[in-house]
Amino acid sequence: MYLTISIILAAILGYLLMMMGPLIGGLVAFGIVAGCLFRGLYLLNNIHKKLSETYPTLTKAEAAYEKHLKELDRKHREHRE
């Protein structure tokens, strides 16, 4: 239902933008797209902050283990070549 309403509203908005002319319609359309992009970036930043609080950083032992695994993987790749 929400998708149907969104499609109908987008069609009406597109029709109104076409009636406004290229300059005003283009500015309004650019504002809508830029606003959606900035809102998306804001939400991604918010999600990142919440996940960073939930999952803390690695301990020294875990970081050393990850470094060791990466080094082994690098050596293994060099050996295959």
Domain extent at residue 10: 2-80
Six-digit token string for 63? 């970081």
pLDDT confidence of residue 77 = 83
DSSP state of 51: H
Q: CB count, 10 Å around CB of 29?
A: 14
Domain count, the chain: 1
pLDDT confidence of residue 59 = 79
**pLDDT tens-digit series, residues 17-29:** 889 988 998 899 9
pLDDT at 44 exceeding the cut of 90: yes
pLDDT band at 81 (very low <50, low <70, confident <90, very high): low
The pTM for the full model equals 0.58
Cβ-Cβ contacts under 8 Å for 28 (sequence gap 6 or more): 17, 20
pLDDT at 79 exceeding the cut of 80: no
